[in-house]
Structure 1
């Protein structure tokens, strides 16, 4: 698997662009609507957004100089108590992800990444490029779920096609 620094930077920018759009869409809903169980895997819009945030923080802690969240794996859907707290943590995490991507080199994508998964109680070692690709794929997957829930809630969800991402920032 060949992953380039350009791909990583493009996906980090895409992540920031998408999350900034989701923040604006989520702001159109009140707390009750954000917490409503919409029969998604992580229940609600906020629950899914929290799960995605936790995943990003965990992957960044494995791949970059980023402090791992100090919560159990079961706390993913309740990582941030409300949309305001989520927005602050999302911005902090996206800023760190973009800063990491701006500095990454081809050599950083080579080799292996090791970690302990609390969810399955097992140690893993995988190619770093595969871990990076998984992180970005995980983001896209769960943002798609949020997009669908926003649409079902009556909010005009944002454009999510990578090809339509503005060529210039801001990415956050």
Structure 2
């Protein structure tokens, strides 16, 4: 299997997060922190969930050693601060994917679960991480609509036709 789809997914993830955070950081504070009927109940809680799960899986993928300790943190409530932290995590994921070779793509990765360590294939763990990000970004997208904010377009990254201008630097790896 080629590595390019994994690198592209990581680049798309960084762009989609930056695009989503541009909308979120422009929101009035009361709309950002308001309670909404949703799985996590608010925009900052949903964004923090995305971020901390990214930290968890990136730590496992890179054999960082933090394990479940990444969850022992307070939520970052300032949207600009959370956006910066997420961007740093996104860059780490891009570097990880770009640094792989095809042989390592199928390596086993140990993930520290609540009930003990489990072993997952690296490619499947990456696919799960990308799906997790898309799933919860979709929830924030919906919450923006509930807050009366026009949610940004997040799906015009991969195709030449219709690729939004803001996606180009991420596509080109800049």
CA distance in 2, matches of 1:17, 1:154: 23
Change (3 A) 1:15 1:129: same
Matched position secondary structure for 1:159: coil
Structure 2 residue 145 is matched with structure 1 residue 151: yes
Q: TM-score, normalised by structure 1?
A: 0.85
What's 1:33 paired with? 31
CA contact (8 A) 2:110 2:118 kept: yes
Change (3 A) 1:50 1:99: same
CA contact (8 A) 1:12 1:97 kept: yes
Displacement of 1:67 in angstroms is: 6.9
CA distance in 2, matches of 1:128, 1:98: 14
Q: How many residues align?
A: 165
What's 1:129 paired with? 123
Unaligned runs of 5+ in 1: none
Matched position secondary structure for 2:119: strand
CA contact (8 A) 1:31 1:83 kept: no
CA distance in 2, matches of 1:42, 1:4: 35
Structure 1 stretches of at least 4 aligned residues deviating more than 3 Å after TM superposition = 65-73, 162-167
CA contact (8 A) 2:56 2:70 kept: no
Change (3 A) 1:159 1:115: same
Q: TM-score, normalised by structure 2?
A: 0.84
Unaligned runs of 5+ in 2: none
Alignment of 1:59-138 (within 5 A): 59-64=57-62, 68=66, 70-72=69-71, 78-118=74-114, 121-138=115-132
Change (3 A) 1:117 1:95: same
